[in-house]
Structure 1
Amino acid sequence: MITLYWSPQSRAVRMFWALEEIGQPYELELIDIRAEDRDDPPDFLAASPLRKVPALIDGKVKIADSAAIVLYLADRYAPGDLAPHPDDPARGEFLTWLFYTPSVIEPAITEKFCEIPSNPTAYPWGSFEKMLAALEARLTDREWIAADHFTMADFMVSGTIDFMSNFDILDPSAVLKSYTERCLTRPAAIRAKIKEQAATKALAN
């Protein structure tokens, strides 16, 4: 059984969607990341040395970080579907765009939100504007970010675009809006939202 360590209002909630995509049973274990005196379980600490969520345990596998988790889930449970096979030429673009969120989008968001002066020559993400331009160019006249079907790279990118839109970091263009809607209306994404809301409500009761 897969165990997801999560906390409401954190990056961990997007893992509901990833887990629904692979169609495997899973259980939830709450980590109160906002508690002053945390007593985290040993298995969680083994999976996440920095005590961050999400983290996941699947048998003997212990893993943390969203991109690493979804790559593992796709390769383990949906190879060739949610992740191109290693010998598929599309594997390269898949990996590029899968890690575009933690390597490019999220640092660019920090730059914009914290009003850090951009330095496109030095910063590996270029700048917020360059990040956005590359994303727009990639999705123009394309249905999916990599390969010719939905993959975990789309999960990562669309979820982050949705986050930026919800927090007024980005007013998405028609291209980005259409792409995000295409991803977020997948049955697995809809099921995940319902389960997330139910899990959050159960904590409040």
Structure 2
Amino acid sequence: MSDELVFYTHPMSRGRIVRWMLEEVGAPYRTELLTYGAGMKESAFRAVNPLGKVPALRHGGVAVTETAAICAYLADAFPEAGLAPAPGDPQRGAYYRWLFFAAGPVEAAVTDRALGVVVPEERRRMVGYGSMAEVLDALEAAVSAGEYLAGGRFSAADLYLGSHLMWGMQFGGIERRPAYETYVARLAGRPAAVRAREIDDRLIADRPQP
């Protein structure tokens, strides 16, 4: 079975997070660019992701969807890249905690805010994030505790949560706080992050985007 990495994406999507992760991993990969609409709904791609959404990854015979899951998968599939605490390392808990905090409460709270959804105070127990204020305070405490989220070393959790902070602050979904800006500045200058941005920005410039 081939162990080829195939990355399905659009340069104006959450695929930018996975591109950064792939550049951190350093393994060769092939990019399949899909267009919004018909391109993502074709049967060939739906065999990879039935929802017809990017990003998605195929690694040999394994298909992985959902951005956080792809990041976690790549960290474990390529342990030599050092993007996750090893199994048994006590920092593995913090790694999982913040990776999936970003995938759950952060994304849900930011999406609700963008859609104008206001959760009544008496119903906050029904939503996983409670309130936007609580999410933002938890994030601030996490990124202020040290340089990185899990044991003082950069990991996929930093890449994923940091990406949400970068996008959120850029587009107004997350308020700017000094602790956030210090944290994301530390991440954005990583060589893999720079390469990934350059690749996707060039793709946006070079082709029409439906």
Relative to the length of structure 2, the TM-score reads: 0.89
User: Is the Cα contact below 8 Å between 2:143 and 2:179 reproduced in 1?
Assistant: yes
Aligned length: 203
The aligned amino acid for 1:137 is A
Query: 2:179 — aligned with what?
Result: 175
Query: 1:122 — aligned with what?
Result: 126
List alignment gaps of at least 5 residues for structure 2. Answer: none
Query: 2:72 — aligned with what?
Result: 71
105 and 174 in structure 1: CA distance in 2 versus 1, 3 angstrom threshold:
same
The aligned amino acid for 2:5 is I
Query: 2:42 — aligned with what?
Result: 40
Relative to the length of structure 1, the TM-score reads: 0.91
CA offsets 1:37-63 (integer angstroms, 9 cap, x no match) = 766252x32321111100011111111
Query: 1:92 — aligned with what?
Result: 93
Superposed CA RMSD: 1.9
Aligned to 1:56, what secondary structure does the other structure show? strand
Q: Is 2:162 the counterpart of 1:165?
A: no
List alignment gaps of at least 5 residues for structure 1. Answer: none
User: Is the Cα contact below 8 Å between 2:11 and 2:201 reproduced in 1?
Assistant: no
Query: 2:105 — aligned with what?
Result: 104
User: Is the Cα contact below 8 Å between 2:40 and 2:52 reproduced in 1?
Assistant: no
Q: Distance in 2 between matches of 1:39 and 1:125?
A: 31
The aligned amino acid for 1:126 is G
Query: 1:11 — aligned with what?
Result: 14
Q: Distance in 2 between matches of 1:67 and 1:73?
A: 10
Q: Distance in 2 between matches of 1:5 and 1:131?
A: 31
Q: Which has the higher contact order (CA 8 A, sep 6+)?
A: 2
Aligned to 2:6, what secondary structure does the other structure show? strand
Q: Distance in 1 between matches of 2:30 and 2:206?
A: 14
Q: Distance in 2 between matches of 1:52 and 1:38?
A: 6
Q: Is 2:136 the counterpart of 1:135?
A: no
Q: Is 2:203 the counterpart of 1:199?
A: yes
User: Is the Cα contact below 8 Å between 1:20 and 1:191 reproduced in 2?
Assistant: yes
Query: 1:154 — aligned with what?
Result: 158
